[in-house]
Structure 1
Amino acid sequence: MRDVAERAGVGLGTVSRVLNGSGAVREETAGRVLAAIEAIGFQRNEIARSLRPGQHSHTFGLLLGDLTNPFYASLAKAAVEVAGREGYAVLLSTADEDPQVERRAIANLIGRRVAGLIVVPDQGDHSYLDHLNAHDRVPLVFVDRPATGTDADVVLLDNEGGARRATEHLIEQGHRRIAILVAPSYYTTGRRLRGYRRALREAGLPVDERLIVTLNRGSAADAASATRDLLASAEPPTAVFATTSFLTEGVLRATQQLRERLGLVGFDDFRFADLMQTPVTVVAADTEELGRHAARLLLDRIHGESGPPRRTVLPVHLIVRGSGEVRQGRSRTARH
């Protein structure tokens, strides 16, 4: 730590706060500390005195996005179960799409001598992992998204194929003006947008850019606002494809408030989707299998599996419940 502090021109306490993610450190200062850590290849070993040189703990590191999102909670639950059956504990951390927080979290996990890492990467450059991990190679698996700047095993969903099928389903029901709500994401919802465009092109339908709504945030409130704007436009859509479950919730809120009927397919299933007045058609994925598969790949690497990085794409499937068949118009229960 002294070498890091000297190189970054800060005190030991500042280095400690950056590594622990505790206390206030200016962004520019934190950046200098992280750059020094990368340059030196520093790793803090919290439990080094209890381990022989080169030995790792019987622990996974699991770095995810927002744990309030049921998607990540389900993924984590499955990975923890697989790890537990093999006698491994799991250290759980979150980064919330913040590259600086992610770097600190991964440095901290490596410093704790985890046997391996499962990471949902943010959209930044991940070549820094090669520096952090230079002296003590730790197996790494990316899940839900690939990373840039480094090579490792990755487990993904068929985002493009699922979105294509969702859009095809709406077209099959007679919809021609199909809007899409796109949550901010550098990979998953971008691939879902590609699937939407592809389905329209293959059906010989124009891609109306006015019906493609990219949101600043992926919240239900933003999706509800966007849906109200679409319905108030001169040429409103007859159906919407929502690229996350949060956005699906927002569409439902808006249509219920306005007493509007609108065709709808969402990506990702959610609780009570089948209990709505009009049950919601969704593209569903086995999120738990995503976590299980990532954990199994990591165990393989920990146990000596070699070879080039593996890329696994898990299938998704359409659950037809009725909302895709709904045609636009005022609900019969609307007040006059």
Structure 2
Amino acid sequence: MRDVATLAGVGIKTVSRVINGEPHVSAATIERVRRAAADLNFQPDLHAGNLRRSDRRTATLGLLVGSVSNPFSGSLHRAVEDIAARRGVAVFASSLDDDPDREESAVSAFLARRVDGLILTTIKRSQAYLLAEQKHGTPLVFIDREPTGLEADAVVSSNAQGAAEATRHLLAHGHRHLAYLGDRAEIQTARERKRGFMEELGRAGVATGEVTIIEGLTSEAHAEAAVESLFAGPNPPTAIFSAQNLITIGAFRALRRLDLHRTVALVGFDDVELGDLLEPGLTVVAQDAARIGHVAAERIFARLDRTATEPQTFVVPTVLIPRGSGEIRPS
């Protein structure tokens, strides 16, 4: 910093103000300091800066998503980064992969790096292990799934309502013999989507004995095999509701292989990349991952700025997008 100050012809405190983005420095001085820093290849030591700052912040956030390979998680990640970048904050991201052990180890890794706040997708039965950290002052915001064992902000989709809308859509097109394809029952979103599906059937007076429920599908391949087994049986469904995007991809592949994609209706929960280019186009209940990420990031910064009130759950609506596959009527 002394070398930068000497080259720029300013004091060390002025260099510090420019590096930390503090006010009351002229544009000409900022430009001179930045040019000197670039000429000297100067990079500020963030850890050393943290030792001197009274708030002890690291200008970092920890973000735990379901899987960085899932487009939904990717959109979430980008939305959080967009908000964080405006504040000069870096985002460390990790995948949960719906593994309880991985959840706690990822959170521990974030905390070891003294992140300023945590935005988390979780799978453990309880997040009470974070109570001490919360009391210590670390802001927590949960995304996609609400926490248990503590009170904290959460940003979620309207899972049950979206599933009910998908079911209502299939019923309106004449289907009564439906199949439900779902994720693992211990996942909160899977339970909510199944609840919405079953409750809508009840409202329509459809006997659950006419409905096939298959849960515990964790990959496209599992979903493919499940659909193939459905149509190898004596009483196959006329319509399928798949409650997760990867399951939807597997289901559509199986229907195509069996040449049933134009005769069996399919509605998926969460959009699928290029779903509008399939034949027929894929009808989905779309989540707004970008909105979820934006709200979560704004909430974590409200906590850091001490402007947030009591913990709240923010529900981001889903939207039904009809493209063709969900409008097929039973033959």
Q: TM-score range by the shorter chain?
A: 0.7 to 0.9
Counterpart residue number, 2:205:
204
Matched, 1:244 2:263: no
Counterpart residue number, 1:65:
66
CA-CA distance at 1:132 after TM superposition: 4.2
Distance in structure 2 (CA, Å) of the matches to 1:248 and 1:262: 13
Counterpart residue number, 1:176:
176
Distance in structure 1 (CA, Å) of the matches to 2:162 and 2:119: 24
Find the residue that maps to 1:180 and give its secondary structure: strand
Equivalences for residues 1-336 of structure 1 within 5 A = 47=47, 50-52=50-52, 55-134=56-135, 136-184=136-184, 185-208=186-209, 211-215=212-216, 217-260=217-260, 261-327=263-329
Find the residue that maps to 2:208 and give its secondary structure: coil
Q: TM-score under structure 1 normalisation?
A: 0.79
CA deviation string 1:265-312 (max 9, x = no partner) = 001111221111111110011111111110000010000124321110
Distance in structure 1 (CA, Å) of the matches to 2:134 and 2:303: 15
Q: Aligned residues, how many?
A: 282
Find the residue that maps to 1:312 and give its secondary structure: strand
- 1:118–1:326 CA distance, 2 compared to 1 (3 A): same
Q: TM-score under structure 2 normalisation?
A: 0.81
- Unaligned 5+ residue runs, structure 1? 1-45, 330-336
Find the residue that maps to 2:97 and give its secondary structure: coil
CA-CA distance at 1:133 after TM superposition: 4.7
Find the residue that maps to 2:72 and give its secondary structure: helix
- 1:74–1:254 CA distance, 2 compared to 1 (3 A): same
Mark the structure with the bigger radius of gyration.
2
Identity %: 39
Distance in structure 1 (CA, Å) of the matches to 2:271 and 2:308: 36
The more displaced of 95-104 and 220-229 is 95-104
CA deviation string 1:99-119 (max 9, x = no partner) = 222222222222322111101
Distance in structure 1 (CA, Å) of the matches to 2:105 and 2:200: 41
- 1:130–1:297 CA distance, 2 compared to 1 (3 A): same
- 1:191–1:141 CA distance, 2 compared to 1 (3 A): same
CA-CA distance at 1:222 after TM superposition: 0.8
Root-mean-square deviation (Å): 1.9
CA-CA distance at 1:244 after TM superposition: 0.9
CA deviation string 1:110-154 (max 9, x = no partner) = 2322111101111332111113455x3111100000111111100
Counterpart residue number, 1:7:
none
- Unaligned 5+ residue runs, structure 2? 1-45
- Is 2:178–2:211's contact at 8 Å kept on the other side of the alignment? no
Find the residue that maps to 2:205 and give its secondary structure: coil
